[in-house]
Each structure stands twice: as structure tokens, then as C-alpha cells.
């Protein structure tokens, strides 16, 4: 290998980053969207009603209970998800009794219209959940294979983060250094800045990501060190046991859930109920579990209150039994998913995720930028490897965001009664991505970058318009109804479109000034003026004026 430690680390960082860079970019981007998966699902089900302001929790619980009594008879348990800042509709869920030969029954979830108390007929869609599940459960591959691929990439990412710190020579003196220069120094600064400012996040997200499928990756170690009983014991310690309350099959009259809630909430300071779980409904053994928004990353026993639904007394023993191992494990999960975060913190999570994606993208671009001068001098043109990397860069860094927009387009435009509609939403996304990966093969790199940036602008700005043409949940209505959840989605799309437009504009002006610089060089060497087309001179003059 290379002569000294830092050099070999640099070599390692470069190639590890390159090999898994594109999958990591995919994982980071879809994962960042996962912080808003509930919001995305709500947007993708435009049949759901707008937010209804000023309705008390008790009224909502009553509406849910009436619906469940009527429709979820015979179910073991009920769930009532109250409207919150992330999903402003009332939702109820229940699990059907298991069919013979199966371990668990089917789980059904319904969105209720609080005005009518009835369910909302929604279109078939994968929603935000399908999109964020892709970041660890690669869509077309089998579960086991995706976990292994994801684990392999995450492990290399962890190594890239560590080696990155080793090879960064001046991590503290260059902490704030970002020189907006063209070419290599500029990209190196961007890569360094994006890595360093969010280093705690990058490390946390990669490390905790690896913990998710602990028993898949560490299978050898657990197999060698434990027998079956010990293994079961270990799993029990890590995954907290839920106290299960079975039906006794003796019917009993339950108290109203809203009444039970009034009993329960006296120990909480404010009305912060997140969801209610009902065990053994309409049975002697009926219990209601009230859960509020998380107030601790690991586990706060006070976030849950169990009430006997027949007598109305508060049960003091806790619903879940947490060991220390389980609390640490849960803590890492919660950190990874940001379950505890309020609205602002969620945006910070999302934004830091995007910083991570941008860091990976800048690393990939750095690879080509560094090799470009040498490759361009080759008589037969650049090598195949170089061209492939450039092509994959264009197709992924700009192509993937376009493909994600296509997923949203598919949601709005595919026929509502289509068979396999959910699958086709995802198919549209991956087909678009495949086209955008192949497209740069047939175009010069600079043109392909510019064209795909333009396309990205177009699709993102067009999306709120298509939304307005196909549904009544468009920006005008959502702003009017003060439904910030839906309005926020459309506004974010417009903002992303704006960013792509800016990137396209910048790219063009830089290309033109670069060409002009080249011409000036030739003029110097040959003492002969080079003709420049008028249209390319015009923006150049503007740029010069700005500089003055």
C-alpha cells in the first residue's frame, strides 16, 4: 500500500467512498425524507379532510370510540391516533383475530372525518412509509439481501467518516474555512465543511443505523456465544416486553375513553396525548393505555398511563418492562429516527440529513474534479471508469431527486382504480431513475448536468401545479384553511424547485465564464481574438458587473 499512514487512509477514504457513494446517497436522501413520512403520507392521500381547528381531545376520542364500537367488533385491541402537528387527521386502527394457521391477524387503519365521524375513502398509495422504507429495505430486493447490502454500505460509511477525520489535516484551523472557488479547492472546502459541521450527526446516524439489524449482522457471534435459551433471554433483554392483556371472553361494559382520559391526564401537566391503545376492548380485562409525546430519548415511564377501562382506576405497574440494555438500544433507535423531536427539531433533523446527502454528493464530485484535468488530456478521451463515475454522479445526484418527484407525480396521475397501484408508484420512480442514469451516457457531461438540473426545476415547480389541477388540497386552499402541514409540503416543493433553478443558473454562468477564460488563454498564446457568440457574452458581462 501507500508509504505512510495518512496517505493510505486517504487512499482508503477515496475508494471506499466511491464504491458505495451512490447507494449511500440514496439511503441518506430517502432516509431524510423519512423524518417527514407522516406528512408525506397525508399529502399523498388527498381525499383526507383539511385540518379541523379547535376540537377537544375528548370529542375526538368519542368520535373514534363510536366508530370502533361499530366497525372493529371482535378485534383484540384498538389504537386511536390523535391529530397532531405531523398528521392532522384522526386515525383509528385495529388488528383482526388471527386466521387459522397464522400467528397474527391483519391490521387495518382508517382515517376518520371528524365532522361526520365516518371513515375517509383513500386512494391506494405507498405514501411516505414506502419511500422511507426504501432506505433500508431496498425496494426490489429481498429483505435479507437488502439488510446485508445496507449493512455493508453503512459499515464502509462508518469507516469513511473515521478515515475522513484522520486525513483532514487542519480540522480546527480550517473549521470555518470555505473558499467559494472554482474547481478542486472549492469542492474540497464544501466537502470538508459539510462533513465537519455535522460530524456528530454523521457518526450517530451511521452507528445507530448499524444497530438496527444487529442480529442479522452479528449472527456468527450470537450463534457461537449463546445457545437457544440464552439467545432468547438476550433478545428479551434488548426488546422490552409488553405486558399482554388477553381477552377473558367475558363481556363487560366499558367506560367512555374520553372519561378515562380525564382520569389519566390529571398526572400530566398539559393536554399532550399522542395515541391511545385499548387492550381487550369490551371485556372484563379491558385496559386503556394513554401515551403522550415522548419526553425522553431512552424511555420515560411517565409518558404512559394505563387505566382499567371497566373500573376507571389507574394501574401503577408499567406497560413495558425496560432493562438497561433495552433503554440504551431504544435510545439509539430514537436518536436515529428523531422520534422525540418537535416541529423545529424535526426540520433540523431533515436538514442535517440533507447535509449528509450533500456531503456524499460533494465527495463523489470531488473524485471526478480531481481527475478531470488529467483525463481530458488523454488522446482517446477520458477512460471508461471516469466516464462511468461522471454518468452515475449526474444520474444519481440530480436524477434521484427527479425520480422522487416522479413518485409524487405517479401518486396524483395514475388511475385511481389501477391494479397494483402502489407497486406502480414505486415502479415509475425507479424507471425514471434508470432513464436518468442512462441519459448522461449520450450527452457531454456539462450538458447533461445542465439539462437534468433544468428538468429537476421543472418537475419540482410543476408538482404543486399538478396537485392543484388534480385535487382540491392545493396550496391556495390549504393556506386558506391554515393547514400548514399540506401547505408546507407544497411550499417545500417550490423551494426545492427554486434551489434547482438557482443551481442551473449558476452552473450555466460558471460554464460561460470558464469558456471565456479558456478563450482569453488562447488569445494570449496566439495574439489573435477569438470570436465569442453574443449570447454567451451577455451573461458574462453581468457577472463581471456583479464582481465589480
Partner 1 sequence: MLVLTSLSFSIMVLFCLAMTKHREQVLESEVSMLAVRFFRPFAWLLLLFTGYLSVDMYGWSIGPALLFGALTIATLLLILLLTYRAKIVPELAIVLSLIASMSIFIA
Report how far residue 288's alpha carbon sits from residue 126's, in angstroms, rounded to the nearest whole number. 30
The separation between CA 53 and the C-alpha centre of its own chain, rounded to angstroms, equals 28
- Pick from 442, 443, 439, 369: nearest CA to 403: 439
- Pick from 143, 128, 163: nearest CA to 2: 163
**By CB under 8 A, what part of segment 393-412 binds partner 1?**
none
Contact status: 345 vs partner 1 (CB under 8 A)? yes
User: Which residue is it, cell 499512514?
Assistant: 5
* Dihedrals phi, psi of 490, to nearest 5 degrees: -65, -40
- Pick from 322, 284, 280: nearest CA to 300: 322
Contact status: 9 vs partner 1 (CB under 8 A)? no
Q: Toward partner 1, which CB reaches closer, 172 or 384?
A: 172
Contact status: 274 vs partner 1 (CB under 8 A)? no
Which among 235-243, 294-302, 361-369, 437-445 is the span making contact with partner 1, rule CB under 8 A? 294-302
> Under rule CB under 8 A, how many of the chain's residues touch partner 1?
27
Which residue from 355, 402, 410, 428 is in contact with partner 1, where contact means CB under 8 A? 355
Helix orientation angle between 484-526 and 534-547, rounded to the nearest 10 degrees: 100
Q: Toward partner 1, which CB reaches closer, 180 or 324?
A: 180
Q: Toward partner 1, which CB reaches closer, 32 or 298?
A: 298
Minimum Å gap between C-beta 344 and partner 1 is: 4
- Counting Cβ atoms within 10 Å, is residue 291 exposed (0-12), middle (13-18) or buried (19+)? middle
Give the contact letters, 200-239, x = binds to partner 1 (CB under 8 A), - = no. Answer: xx--------------------------------------
Q: Cell for 181? A: 472557488
Q: Toward partner 1, which CB reaches closer, 197 or 510?
A: 197
- Pick from 353, 322, 63, 82: nearest CA to 204: 353
Which among 89-97, 350-358, 377-385, 449-457 is the span making contact with partner 1, rule CB under 8 A? 350-358
Which among 127-135, 170-178, 437-445, 461-469 is the span making contact with partner 1, rule CB under 8 A? 170-178
Contact status: 297 vs partner 1 (CB under 8 A)? yes
| Contacts with 521 (C-beta within 8 Å, 6 or more apart), sequence order | none
Minimum Å gap between C-beta 354 and partner 1 is: 11
Contact status: 180 vs partner 1 (CB under 8 A)? yes
Q: Are 76 and 276 in contact (CB under 8 A)?
A: no
Which among 107-115, 342-350, 479-487, 522-530 is the span making contact with partner 1, rule CB under 8 A? 342-350
Which among 14-22, 178-186, 246-254, 477-485 is the span making contact with partner 1, rule CB under 8 A? 178-186
Which among 20-28, 212-220, 334-342, 508-516 is the span making contact with partner 1, rule CB under 8 A? 334-342
Report how far residue 353's alpha carbon sits from residue 331's, in angstroms, rounded to the nearest whole number. 19
Q: Toward partner 1, which CB reaches closer, 298 or 432?
A: 298
Which residue from 148, 152, 333, 340 is in contact with partner 1, where contact means CB under 8 A? 340
Contact status: 335 vs partner 1 (CB under 8 A)? yes
Report how far residue 352's alpha carbon sits from residue 222's, in angstroms, rounded to the nearest whole number. 34
* DSSP conformation letters of 71-110: H-TT-SEEEEEPP-SS--SEEEEEEPPPPTT-SS--EEEE
Contact status: 197 vs partner 1 (CB under 8 A)? yes
Minimum Å gap between C-beta 24 and partner 1 is: 19
**By CB under 8 A, what part of segment 57-96 binds partner 1?**
none
Minimum Å gap between C-beta 181 and partner 1 is: 10
Q: Are 193 and 175 in contact (CB under 8 A)?
A: no
Q: Toward partner 1, which CB reaches closer, 47 or 296?
A: 296
- The CB-based long-range contact list for 294-301 (8 Å cut-off, 24+ gap) reads 294/334, 294/339, 294/340, 295/340, 296/340, 297/331, 297/334, 297/335, 297/340, 298/327, 298/328, 298/330, 298/331, 298/334, 299/240, 299/326, 299/327, 299/330, 299/331
Which residue from 105, 117, 312, 331 is in contact with partner 1, where contact means CB under 8 A? 331
Report how far residue 475's alpha carbon sits from residue 486's, in angstroms, rounded to the nearest whole number. 8
Q: Cell for 460? A: 419540482
Could you give the dihedral angle defined by the CA atoms of residues 439, 444, 449 and 453, in that order, rounded to the nearest 10 degrees? -70
Which residue from 143, 271, 295, 517 is in contact with partner 1, where contact means CB under 8 A? 295
What is the contact surface with partner 1 in residues (CB under 8 A)?
173, 175-176, 178-180, 193, 197-198, 200-201, 295-298, 331, 335, 340-342, 344-345, 348-349, 351-352, 355
Amino acid at each position: 500500500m501507500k508509504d505512510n499512514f495518512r496517505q493510505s487512509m486517504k487512499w482508503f477514504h477515496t475508494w471506499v467512498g466511491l464504491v458505495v457513494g451512490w447507494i449511500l446517497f440514496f439511503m441518506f436522501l430517502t432516509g431524510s425524507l423519512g423524518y417527514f413520512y407522516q406528512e408525506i403520507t397525508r399529502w399523498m392521500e388527498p381525499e383526507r379532510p383539511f385540518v379541523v381547528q379547535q376540537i377537544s381531545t375528548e370529542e375526538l376520542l368519542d368520535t373514534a370510540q363510536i366508530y370502533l364500537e361499530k366497525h372493529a367488533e371482535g378485534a383484540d385491541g384498538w389504537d386511536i391516533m390523535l391529530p397532531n402537528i405531523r398528521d392532522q387527521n384522526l386515525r383509528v386502527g385495529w388488528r383482526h383475530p388471527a386466521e387459522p394457521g397464522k400467528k397474527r391477524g391483519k391490521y387495518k387503519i382508517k382515517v376518520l372525518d371528524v365532522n361526520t365521524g365516518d371513515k375517509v375513502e383513500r386512494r391506494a398509495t405507498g405514501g411516505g412509509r414506502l419511500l422511507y422504507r426504501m432506505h433500508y429495505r431496498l425496494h426490489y430486493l429481498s429483505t435479507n439481501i437488502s439488510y446485508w447490502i445496507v449493512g455493508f454500505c453503512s459499515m464502509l460509511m462508518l469507516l469513511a467518516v473515521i478515515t475522513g477525520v484522520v486525513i483532514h489535516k487542519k480540522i480546527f484551523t480550517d473549521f470555518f474555512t470555505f473558499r467559494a472557488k472554482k474547481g478542486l479547492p472549492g469542492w474540497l472546502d464544501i466537502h470538508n465543511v459539510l462533513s465537519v459541521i455535522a460530524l456528530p450527526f454523521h457518526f450517530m446516524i451511521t452507528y445507530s443505523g448499524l444497530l438496527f439489524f444487529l442480529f442479522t449482522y452479528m449472527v456468527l457471534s450470537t450463534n457461537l456465544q449463546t445457545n437457544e435459551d440464552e439467545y432468547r433471554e438476550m433478545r428479551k433483554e434488548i426488546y422490552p416486553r409488553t405486558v399482554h392483556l388477553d381477552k377473558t371472553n367475558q363481556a363487560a361494559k366499558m367506560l367512555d375513553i374520553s372519561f378515562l382520559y380525564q382520569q389519566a391526564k390529571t398526572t400530566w401537566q398539559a393536554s399532550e396525548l399522542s395515541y391511545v391503545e385499548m387492550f381487550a376492548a369490551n371485556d372484563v380485562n379491558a385496559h386503556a393505555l394513554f401515551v403522550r409525546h415522548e419526553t425522553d430519548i431512552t424511555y420515560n415511564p411517565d409518558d404512559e398511563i394505563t387505566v382499567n377501562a371497566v373500573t376507571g382506576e389507574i394501574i401503577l405497574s408499567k406497560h413495558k418492562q425496560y432493562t438497561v440494555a433495552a433503554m440504551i438500544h431504544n435510545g439509539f433507535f430514537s436518536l436515529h429516527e428523531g422520534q422525540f423531536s418537535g416541529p423545529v427539531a424535526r426540520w433540523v433533523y431533515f436538514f442535517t440529513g440533507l447535509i449528509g446527502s450533500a456531503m456524499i454528493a460533494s465527495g463523489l464530485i470531488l473524485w471526478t474534479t480531481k481527475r478531470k484535468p488529467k483525463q481530458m488530456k488523454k488522446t482517446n478521451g477520458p477512460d471508461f471508469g471516469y466516464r462511468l463515475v461522471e454518468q452515475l454522479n449526474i444520474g444519481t445526484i440530480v436524477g434521484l431527486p427527479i425520480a422522487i418527484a416522479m413518485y409524487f407525480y405517479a401518486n396524483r396521475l395514475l388511475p385511481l382504480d389501477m391494479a397494483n397501484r402502489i407497486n406502480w408508484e414505486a415502479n415509475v420512480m425507479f424507471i425514471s431513475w434508470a432513464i436518468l442514469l442512462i441519459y448522461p451516457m449520450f450527452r457531454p457531461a456539462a450538458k447533461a448536468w445542465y439539462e437534468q438540473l433544468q428538468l429537476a426545476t421543472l418537475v419540482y415547480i410543476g408538482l404543486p401545479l399538478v396537485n392543484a389541477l388534480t385535487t382540491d388540497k392545493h396550496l391556495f386552499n390549504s393556506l386558506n384553511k391554515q393547514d400548514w402541514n399540506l401547505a408546507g409540503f407544497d411550499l417545500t416543493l417550490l423551494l426545492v424547485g427554486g434551489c434547482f433553478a438557482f443551481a442551473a443558473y449558476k452552473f450555466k454562468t460558471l460554464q460561460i465564464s470558464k469558456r471565456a477564460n479558456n478563450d482569453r488563454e488562447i488569445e494570449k498564446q496566439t495574439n489573435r481574438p477569438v470570436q465569442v457568440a453574443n449570447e454567451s457574452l451577455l451573461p458574462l458581462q453581468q457577472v463581471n458587473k456583479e464582481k465589480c
